[in-house]
């Protein structure tokens, strides 16, 4: 998957009707598994000629793509809109559930969740002998750098020889750590990341710490002494445990900050209605939402207004030409278009009590 999915570009794509088809496919046989669902959608759209035509033409675009580009394996996301002559295929490095979605715009919520949950971070795996530095983008290692350490172990030889040996060894360790930090600084200029995980020998990790400038130290979220002779599966598990532990902590910290502001009557709101209203005004800076809470909403074909809740007529203009949407997906689009951030969290019970969603405001 791309290191950074352009959610802002996708958020800017819209049509006046439900003309977009979004597909998330877990494997090469996913479309075959979806045949019954596609057949039932055709039946349900027969009373809506325009939407039925959009759906059929979108399917043709996707089928034509696969005829020219046969699938082998892996998860992908597809956005198709025949009305706009648009199709985009996004390979995914992480597994997704099979999903088909018809709407007036691309269904980007799963992509936003992936981008939030698998935010880019840097890993340093180092002991006295060697170091590997790489960026993890969307759950997969990229841009690997290797550095030779060749720092000898402590030995006991006694006297002046012992002291000379230790001084030489300390100098080697010092230069080795500074070389690792220089690589991190170079990587920082090229890649967007705000977390660093350090694993390996305790001595090497401590020396890297000493060599790090303040701006890099502030990005270190976790470190663990590991025997690097263990298999890669074990080491990778420990790395992701550190990353996800910090992710959960950052979710709780954001909620605590928003709650504190809200309790003091400062720049914060809770509940989908207030969050959407202020997001439309460009006033939202950060949103936190419980990822498993289901929100309901409608969009109006006439005034294009978005309204949380269940409505048979548009609360804005009174038109009965409304259709159901996922307001969280619509909100993600608004946030992407205004350079605001969304954090989709494991359930926070306190947040559920006030509607499952809250926001920190810019002004």
pLDDT band for position 2 (50/70/90)? very low
Indicate whether 214 and 196 sit together in one domain: yes
Instruction: Judge whether 239 lies within some domain.
Output: no
- The residue segments making up the domain with residue 166 are 118-229
Instruction: Judge whether 309 lies within some domain.
Output: yes
Indicate whether 264 and 190 sit together in one domain: no
> Read out DSSP for 236-296?
HHHHHHHHHHHHHHHHHHHHHHHHHHHHTTSSEEESHHHHHHHHHTT-EEEEEEETT----
Buried-exposed string 176-212: b where 16+ CB fall within 10 A, e elsewhere: bbeebbebbeebbeeeebebbbbbbbebbbebbeebb
Q: Given this model, what pLDDT does residue 79 score? A: 96
Instruction: Judge whether 82 lies within some domain.
Output: yes
Domain count, the chain: 3
User: Is 94 strand, coil or helix?
Assistant: coil
Indicate whether 286 and 351 sit together in one domain: yes
In the listed set 108, 138, 155, which residue is the last one of a domain according to the structure?
A: 108
User: Could you give the dihedral angle defined by the CA atoms of residues 327, 193, 250 and 7, in that order, rounded to the nearest 10 degrees?
Assistant: 0
Indicate whether 91 and 65 sit together in one domain: yes
Asked whether the predicted pLDDT for residue 80 surpasses 80, the reply is yes
* Residues near 18 by beta carbon (within 8 Å), at least 6 away in sequence: 51, 54, 102, 103, 104, 323
Cβ pair 193, 120 in contact under 8 A = yes
What confidence tens digit (pLDDT) does each residue in 173-199 have?
Answer: 889 999 999 999 999 988 888 899 999
**Helices and strands (H, E) in the chain, number of each type:** 12, 16
Instruction: Judge whether 200 lies within some domain.
Output: yes
What confidence tens digit (pLDDT) does each residue in 101-116 have?
Answer: 999 899 999 998 888 8
State residue 2 phi and psi, 5-degree precision. Answer: -55, 145
Q: Pick from 29, 28, 34, 82: which is nearest to 60 by CA?
A: 82
Q: Given this model, what pLDDT does residue 93 score? A: 82
Indicate whether 127 and 46 sit together in one domain: no
CATH number at residue 67: 3.30.960.10
In the listed set 200, 229, 258, which residue is the last one of a domain according to the structure?
A: 229
Indicate whether 15 and 100 sit together in one domain: yes
The CA distance from 9 to 72, in Å, is: 28
Asked whether the predicted pLDDT for residue 141 surpasses 80, the reply is no
Q: Pick from 280, 344, 337: which is nearest to 112 by CA?
A: 344
Average confidence (pLDDT) over 145-157: 64
Burial class, 264, CB count within 10 angstroms (exposed 0-12 / middle 13-18 / buried 19+):
exposed
Instruction: Judge whether 317 lies within some domain.
Output: yes
In the listed set 74, 108, 142, which residue is the last one of a domain according to the structure?
A: 108
Indicate whether 218 and 256 sit together in one domain: no
CATH number at residue 345: 3.30.1330.30
Instruction: Judge whether 43 lies within some domain.
Output: yes
Q: Pick from 203, 92, 188, 174: which is nearest to 145 by CA?
A: 188
Secondary structure E strands in the chain: 20-25, 75-81, 86-92, 99-103, 121-126, 130-137, 140-148, 196-200, 220-225, 268-270, 284-290, 297-300, 306-308, 322-325, 341-345, 357-361
Indicate whether 196 and 131 sit together in one domain: yes
Which two structure tokens, joined as six digits, stand for 5?
A: 């999915």
Indicate whether 210 and 280 sit together in one domain: no
Of residues 152 and 238, which shows the higher confidence score?
A: 238
Instruction: Judge whether 236 lies within some domain.
Output: no
Indicate whether 187 and 275 sit together in one domain: no
Indicate whether 193 and 103 sit together in one domain: no
Indicate whether 102 and 125 sit together in one domain: no
Q: Given this model, what pLDDT does residue 277 score? A: 92
Residue with tokens 């790489």: 134
């Amino acid at each position: 998957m791309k290191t950074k999915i352009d959610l802002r570009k996708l958020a800017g794509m819209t049509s006046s009707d439900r003309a977009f088809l979004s597909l998330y496919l877990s494997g090469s046989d996913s479309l075959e598994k979806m045949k019954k669902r596609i057949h039932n959608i055709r039946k349900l759209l027969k009373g809506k000629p325009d939407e039925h035509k959009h759906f059929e033409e979108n399917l043709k675009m996707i089928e034509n793509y696969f005829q020219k580009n046969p699938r082998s394996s892996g998860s992908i996301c597809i956005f198709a809109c025949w009305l706009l002559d648009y199709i985009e295929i996004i390979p995914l490095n992480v597994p997704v559930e099979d999903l088909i979605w018809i709407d007036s715009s691309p269904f980007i919520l799963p992509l936003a969740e992936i981008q939030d949950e698998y935010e880019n971070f840097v890993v340093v795996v180092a002991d006295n002998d060697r170091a590997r530095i790489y960026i993890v983008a969307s759950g997969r290692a990229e841009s690997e750098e290797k550095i030779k350490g060749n720092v000898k172990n402590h030995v006991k030889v006694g006297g002046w020889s012992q002291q000379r040996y230790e001084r030489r060894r300390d100098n080697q360790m010092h230069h080795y750590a500074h070389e690792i930090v220089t690589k991190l600084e170079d990587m920082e200029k090229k890649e967007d990341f705000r977390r660093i995980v350090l694993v390996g020998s305790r001595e090497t990790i401590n020396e890297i710490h000493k060599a790090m400038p303040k701006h890099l130290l502030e990005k270190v979220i976790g470190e663990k002494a590991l025997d690097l002779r263990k298999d890669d599966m074990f080491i990778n598990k420990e790395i992701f445990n550190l990353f996800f532990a910090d992710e959960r902590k950052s979710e709780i910290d954001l909620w605590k900050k928003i709650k504190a502001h809200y309790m003091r009557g400062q720049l914060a709101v809770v509940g989908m209605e207030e969050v959407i209203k202020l997001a439309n005004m460009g006033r939202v800076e950060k949103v936190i939402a419980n990822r498993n809470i289901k929100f309901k909403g409608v969009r109006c074909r006439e005034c294009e207004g978005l309204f949380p809740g269940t409505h048979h007529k548009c609360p804005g203009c009174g038109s009965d030409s409304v259709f159901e949407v996922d307001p969280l997906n619509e909100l993600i689009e608004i946030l992407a278009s205004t350079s605001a951030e969304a954090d989709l969290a494991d359930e926070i019970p306190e947040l559920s009590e006030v509607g499952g969603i809250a926001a920190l405001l810019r002004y």
